[in-house]
């Protein structure tokens, strides 16, 4: 099983620091999550039903009704490769490692394209092109028009473009989701998640947007009640809360810019609104130095990358700044 950010208990045990004393910056999750209200008893008592308004709320929020709710986008990431004919996959990497692992397990052949742009991926002439946008962990963005053109070029040769947009909610105008599975882009498949922008990672709710036949086959393979009743209720309410979304985006944008400025003196930094990734030859040492001060980051080896999420309050910001300053002291 692959390792991910958020393994706070393991870090606490390794560094012998109590759980309550940590600043966890390892996940890229919004530290100010959507405020979950008390849920009605029926959400716990009754079996989940597909006509409870979740699909309608998601269609309105994402701009596309061609969707399937899943138990976190991870569930769809693992299943999708088993539904498509085995072939070569051009994978723009480094990337969220669950993607290539799922395709390899299903018998596909992965062609890793390190730090590539979309034109190079298309030149690989593979039936499938796989990418994250913004990319996790590097923060690289593929321009919207370039991605749309890539889907169209792949369509001409019978190929597919698969895009993970887990971190795109703060900048919705850049999203390809409204096109996925439509007549204009029937070969475009997009994953979305409520875990990052909404901060609801524990609810395990995500969506896949694709052509109707893909969605039907995935639904059949997953079976009924994929998303729990409480999770469906929370997801519906969060997707409908436009006021919270409107307020969260500029707040996250400002926080992301602050994080970029804080890290920029240390080396090359690429940022999204929810995380920043530092490229540095001594990332291992910096990761360890911060962890010994109870600050958990996400180290990517062998790429020499260190990803930082957003602190949730001013005390966290000051603690991170102090930890970075201590590491730089001679």
Q: Is residue 3 assigned to a domain?
A: no
Supply the pLDDT for residue 304: 87
In 3D space, the residue among 84, 33, 113 whose CA is nearest the CA of residue 208 turns out to be 84
Same domain membership, residue 266 and residue 180: no
Q: Are residues 285 and 317 in the same domain?
A: yes
Q: Which residue has the higher pLDDT, 243 or 328?
A: 243
The pLDDT value recorded for residue 3 is 61
Instruction: From 240, 258, 281, give the residue that closes a domain.
Output: 240
Query: Do 221 and 268 belong together in one domain?
Result: no
Q: Are 203 and 194 in contact (CB under 8 A)?
A: yes
Query: Could you say which of 223, 240, 257 is where a domain stops?
Result: 240
Within a domain: 23: yes
Check pLDDT > 90 for residue 117. Answer: no
Which pLDDT does position 328 carry in this prediction?
87
Contact by Cβ (8 Å): 196, 30: yes
In degrees, rounded to 5, the angle at the alpha carbon of residue 237 between the alpha carbons of residues 235 and 239 is: 65
Assess if residue 252 is contained within a domain: yes
Q: How many domains does the chain have?
A: 2
Q: Is the pLDDT of residue 1 over 60?
A: no
Radius of gyration of the chain (CA): 20
Domain annotation covers residue 214: yes
Q: Is 194 helix (H, G, I), strand (E, B) or coil?
A: coil
Q: What pLDDT is recorded for position 203?
A: 96
User: Is 264 within the bounds of a domain?
Assistant: yes
Residue 258's domain comprises 8-28+243-328
Tokens of 35: 């405020």
- pLDDT at residue number 273: 96
Coil, strand, or helix at residue 130?
A: strand
- SS3 of the chain: helix, strand, coil, percent, to 5: 45, 15, 40
Which pLDDT band holds residue 116 (cuts at 50, 70, 90)? confident
- Whose CA is closest to 133, among 100, 170, 168? 168
Among the listed residues 113, 135, 129, 102, the one whose alpha carbon sits nearest the alpha carbon of residue 187: 129
Taking 60 as the threshold, does the pLDDT of residue 139 lie above it?
yes
Answer yes or no: is pLDDT of 30 > 90: yes
User: pLDDT for 280-297, tens place per residue?
Assistant: 889 999 999 999 999 999
The chain-wide mean pLDDT, for the chain, equals 95
Kindly tell me if the per-residue pLDDT of 2 is higher than 60: no
Judgement on whether residues 73 and 125 belong to the same structural domain of the protein = yes
Classify residue 83: in a domain, yes or no.
yes
Q: Is the pLDDT confidence value at 42 over 80?
A: yes
pLDDT score for 281: 87
pLDDT band, very low/low/confident/very high, at 11 (cuts 50, 70, 90): very high
**Are residues 209 and 285 both part of a single domain?**
no
Kindly state the average pLDDT of the residues 187-211: 98
| pLDDT over 90 at 329, yes or no | no
What per-residue confidence (pLDDT) applies to 277?
96
In terms of domains, do 226 and 247 share one? no
CA pair distance 306, 286, nearest whole angstrom: 8
Mean pLDDT of 129-156: 94
Q: In whole angstroms, give the CA distance from residue 205 to residue 293.
A: 33
Q: Is the pLDDT of residue 213 over 60?
A: yes
213 and 252 part of one domain = no
Where is 21: in which H helix or E strand? none
Asked which of 185, 208, 240 is the last residue of a domain, the reply is 240
Pair 76, 205 in one domain: yes
Distance in angstroms (rounded) separating the CA atoms of residues 57 and 36: 16
Residues 106, 192 within the same domain = yes
Pair 164, 294 in one domain: no
> Which CATH number belongs to the domain containing residue 14 in this structure?
3.90.1150.10
User: Is residue 2 in a domain?
Assistant: no
Give the percent of the chain with pLDDT over 70: 98
Mean pLDDT for 106-131 is 92
Same domain, 72 and 204: yes
Q: In what order do the strands lie in the sheet with 88-93?
A: 67-70, 206-209, 188-193, 160-164, 128-132, 88-93, 109-114
**pTM more than 0.75:** yes
Q: Per-residue pLDDT tens for 247-285?
A: 999 999 999 999 999 999 999 999 999 999 999 889 999
Q: Which residues make Cβ contacts (< 8 Å) with residue 73, sequence separation at least 6? A: 164, 166, 191, 192, 193, 195, 206, 207, 208
Domain assignment present for 35: no
Do 50 and 154 share a domain, yes or no? yes
**CATH assignment of the domain containing 169:** 3.40.640.10
Nearest residue to 320 via CA among 12, 22, 60, 84: 22
């Amino acid at each position: 099983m692959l390792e991910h950010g958020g393994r706070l208990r393991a870090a606490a045990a390794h560094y012998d620091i109590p759980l309550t004393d940590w600043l966890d910056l390892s996940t890229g999750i919004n530290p100010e999550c959507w405020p979950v209200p008390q849920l009605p008893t029926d959400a716990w008592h009754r079996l989940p039903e597909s006509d409870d308004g979740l699909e309608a709320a998601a269609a309105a929020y994402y701009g596309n009704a061609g969707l399937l709710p899943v138990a976190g986008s991870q569930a769809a990431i693992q299943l999708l490769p088993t539904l498509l004919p085995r072939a070569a996959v051009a994978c723009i990497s480094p990337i969220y490692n669950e993607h290539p692992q799922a395709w390899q397990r299903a018998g596909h052949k992965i062609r890793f394209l390190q730090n590539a742009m979309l034109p190079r991926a298309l030149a690989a002439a593979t039936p499938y092109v796989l990418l994250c946008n913004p990319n996790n962990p590097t923060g690289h963005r593929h321009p919207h028009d370039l991605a749309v053109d890539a889907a169209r070029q792949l369509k001409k040769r019978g190929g597919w473009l698969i895009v993970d947009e887990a971190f795109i909610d703060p900048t919705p105008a850049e999203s390809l989701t409204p096109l996925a599975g439509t007549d204009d882009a029937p070969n475009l498949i997009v994953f979305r998640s409520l875990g990052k922008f909404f901060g609801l990672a524990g609810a395990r709710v995500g969506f896949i947007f694709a052509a109707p036949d893909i969605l039907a086959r995935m639904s059949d393979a997953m079976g009924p009640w994929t998303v729990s009743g409480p999770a469906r209720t929370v997801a519906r309410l969060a997707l409908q809360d436009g006021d919270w979304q409107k307020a969260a985006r500029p707040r996250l944008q400002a926080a992301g810019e602050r994080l970029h400025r804080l890290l920029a003196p240390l080396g090359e930094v690429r940022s999204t609104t929810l995380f920043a990734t530092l490229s540095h030859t001594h990332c291992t040492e910096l990761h360890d130095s911060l962890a010994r001060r109870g600050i958990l980051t996400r180290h990517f080896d062998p790429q020499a990358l260190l990803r930082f999420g957003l602190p949730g309050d001013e005390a966290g910001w000051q603690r991170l700044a102090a930890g970075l300053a201590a590491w730089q002291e001679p």
